Structure 1
Amino acid sequence: MQPAGNSRKKLVIGVSIGISLLFLCFIASVSLCWLKSRNKKKINEETPSTLGFFHEMISYGDLRNATDGFSSINLIGSGSFGTVFKALLPAKNKVVAVKVLNMQRRGAMKSFMAECESLKDIRHRNLVKLLTACSSIDFQGNEFRALIYEYMPNGSLDMWLHPNEMEKISRPSRTLTLLERINIAIDVASVLEYLHVSCHDAIAHCDLKPSNVLLDDDLTAHVSDFGLARILLKFDQETFINQLSSAGVRGSIGYAAPEYAMGGKISVHGDAYSFGILILEMFSGKRPTDEMFGGDFTLRSCIRSALPEQVLDVADELILHNGLRIGFPAAECLTKVLEVGLGCSEESPGNRLGMSEVVKELISIKEMFFKARRGARR
């Protein structure tokens, strides 16, 4: 039988240890709450400086109601960092597109900030207009970020180029004519020229592809999704490369400039490469990631080897059966357009065509189109 003094001593030690553990748990909980609060405060301190140019912000509740609780019925697209919903804003009786960022995805906050920063001071008829943004907390207390854009009723260029891959409900009612494709190419080239040459600080879009080119009622093209864009005099090179490797480049394989995959410097030449691949896809009807391509046999090498004699063999068959009249020099027109695409997508960045030169060349091809069509009517 142990003495009563030893029992009391053990009891005191046990109680002391228990109190110490409880105290340590309390300190840990307080520290975690403080760190979480500090991080949220840091985010909320950064965001207003970027969003201050909006005259009117919108709440999480308003967006939730406008999208019927972010219903899948209103889902119109998805990307590297979030999903896009169609929404009706009752107060303005206006249909908009709401891009909801997935804040659990690494790089989503940087994407949100990059898009706001890139678009706040630029205006061009071929840019999707950023109307406002939402920086808030959802009903579960989580960080919520969303961007609200003009709604483009004719969807993306991607769904027009590859209608057979789309769900029946979203398929275009017809295919794009040769002239419409040339007009879209001019629209996209014009906005890239603006970003590269006319802005106070040159802007590289960094993620140009058919799904990021949207079409309005008149099939006028509008470039969207500036989540990877960089203002070239201000960007953080290391941050950009990390962001590309974590999320951005994976969704754009086939369009991203080859130097980016090797950690090369970001430049307007990277956009030129992506535009060149976009042109080749628009007029051949084939994705650069098509399973027919592999190794040294790429979309670019396929088209380059076919020009000029076999150009009709690599052209999108839908073009040849839509909008071409007898006497129209389809082969010559397609050859010139595809040559622009090849010139933009040269392996070496310094050898690629500049966008000002591209705009002039495409307009010249369009004028040739009209001249030939008028001659065929006589």
Structure 2
Amino acid sequence: MRKTWLLGFGFFSISITWSLYNAFVPFFLDPYLKSTALIGFMMTIDNYFALFLQPWIGNLSDKTNTRFGKRMPFMMIGMPIAALFVILIPLHTSLITLVLFMMLMNLAMSVYRSPTVALMPDITPDSQRTRANGIINFMGGFGGILAFGAGSILYKANPAFPFLAAAVITLFSLFILVRFIKEKRDVIVSSPAERQPKIKLKGELDRTTILLLAAIFFWFVSYQGVEALFTLYGKHYLGLSESASSFSLTFFSLFFVLFAIPSGWLGNRYGKRKIIISGVIGLFVVFAAIPLAKTVLLLRILLALGGMCWALININSYPFIVSIGSETSIGTRTGLYYLVSSLAAIASPPLLGLIIDSFGYGSLFIYASSGMLLALLFISLVKHDGKTASASTEQVPANL
């Protein structure tokens, strides 16, 4: 698992950059845009890039063959360019330059995001991928927590400092990846591009894949809606202060990070489908129970349980979508995974906002619970158990 921890630096840098971007870019937009809805739309640019570019780039990386490998060239091109525009964002001089730097940063990150994710199953045996996904999500989650903690301190000193730090971390992570991961040497399945079968998106959409993608879409619809509007729910429905509402949501994130690695082990041991179903049922119960919470302590306990359940779902879903395809279609399936999650991220917050405008904030967790029920329906129809044949006999590495 040493290579997995090293690859985790890629996820660490991506998570820090996105967390800082989502936390502070709205402050840069606020003086120029009076409409909160328009600011919210501008903050979804990354999801539109993910929607249209990442499936194509993932498919392109499957067909790429260079002396650096299939995925590494995309990182070597995208990460330095992304670092440059991350630095430039707080140095904007007008709305036009701000939006230009935002779009170019998102474009650069779209170049390497799918290939970075796809490199994990490339260098990891199928029987270890759920645990490996737990490790890289642990590092990504830690990066997000670090971004909110240290980033706030740096931002108070100078709004440009957190973005400069993110750029330095991105370049350092690229150095770690290039220095210690040799794709040609480390890849599990390596076949020259000219001998690989042609991978078509349509050919990957069998019944099992479609059902699993539908389940992924609906649990992300629930998650993205709660993530986007929970702080307003806490303020307007529960009567919490803005800081208390925001701090409450960190319990969800913290326990997701803490349970990331155990979730990967459980998925590998008992099967991804079974563990995902357990997480979906658990998160449905949590979302249904939150409106009944009468104290902040109980609310935070429920959110902590929700973070654990979300780890059971999220850590196992990507290895599951990869495992039901061929080894040569990993990049394509990575793109499909990001396609449906990005669709959910684009559709859910405005749809939930319309529902709240019509029925009030009390409808938030009815909406979220309904999404989890639909996800449960589709994942229950999947026949593949997501369990690797050798998992039951495999020993847990001591260095995990």
Normalising by structure 2, report the TM-score. 0.26
Higher normalized helix content (fraction of residues): 2
Larger relative contact order (Cα-Cα within 8 Å, sequence gap ≥ 6): 2
TM-score, normalised by the number of residues in structure 1: 0.28
